[in-house]
Amino acid sequence: MDADTGIVRDHLGDTHHGDAVVICPGAEHSILGGKALSGLHRCRLQMMQTAPLDIPLRTALADGDSLRYYPVFDVPARKNLPAPSPATDRWRMQLLCVQRADGGLTIGDTHAYDEPFDVGVAEEAYDELRGRAERILGRTIPKTVTRWAGVYSQQPEPVAAVESRHVLTAGVHLITGLGGRGMTASPAVAEKQPRRS
């Protein structure tokens, strides 16, 4: 990359021109030798999607275990939560459930931090998530059509900013560490990005 001339060459050898270079490597912390991102963690999650449910689910669902994980719930009363169930403890899980346009349910998720991560996905975690969704909805949910796992980059607690941002050299920025909020928060992160600095 050449910040002065605004030219960058990607891993496929293609050249791009611009006012600034913004590198967003996600959970690929080894980029540039790994030094800039050595303070970040990686988190692996399991999720699933079902065939269409026969009724509309007009709201997104989250069970009480969600209160354990998100900084927004880090209030004094959080210490009064009961001890987590063995499944929650083991998989650091919560139920999140939202209906897609076709009626299917996207359901998550687990949180694993110990690397190396498993290659496979654990059926026990899916059984637990399915059971929780069925208890809340009061009905059997449709068969699973897709299972997947993904990894995101996360900052250590307490999180100082939404993203982890580094200026590598003038005009060259490295941004990652958005954790489980990157899809939601990315417009705000992009808006903060100066064209040149």
Which residues in this chain contact ligand FAD in the complex, by CB under 6 A?
11, 24-28, 31, 45, 47, 109, 150-152, 176, 178-184
Instruction: Find the shortest distance in angstroms from Cβ 113 to ligand FAD.
Output: 13
Q: Whose Cβ is closer to ligand FAD: residue 101's or residue 183's? A: 183
Give whichever of 45 and 53 is closer to ligand FAD, judged by the CB atom.
45
Distances (CA, A) of 130 to 95, 125, 150: 9, 9, 19
Residue closer to ligand FAD, measured from CB, 142 or 180:
180
For 172, other C-beta atoms within 10 Å of its C-beta total: 17
Q: Give the residue closest to ligand FAD by C-beta.
A: 182
DSSP symbols for 135-171: HHHTSPPPPEEEEEEEEEEEPPSSP-SSSEEEEEETT
Closest to ligand FAD by CB, 49 or 52: 49
Are 6 and 171 within 8 A, CB to CB?
Answer: yes
Place of tokens 């929780």: 132
Q: Cβ of residue 76: shortest distance to ligand FAD, in angstroms? A: 26
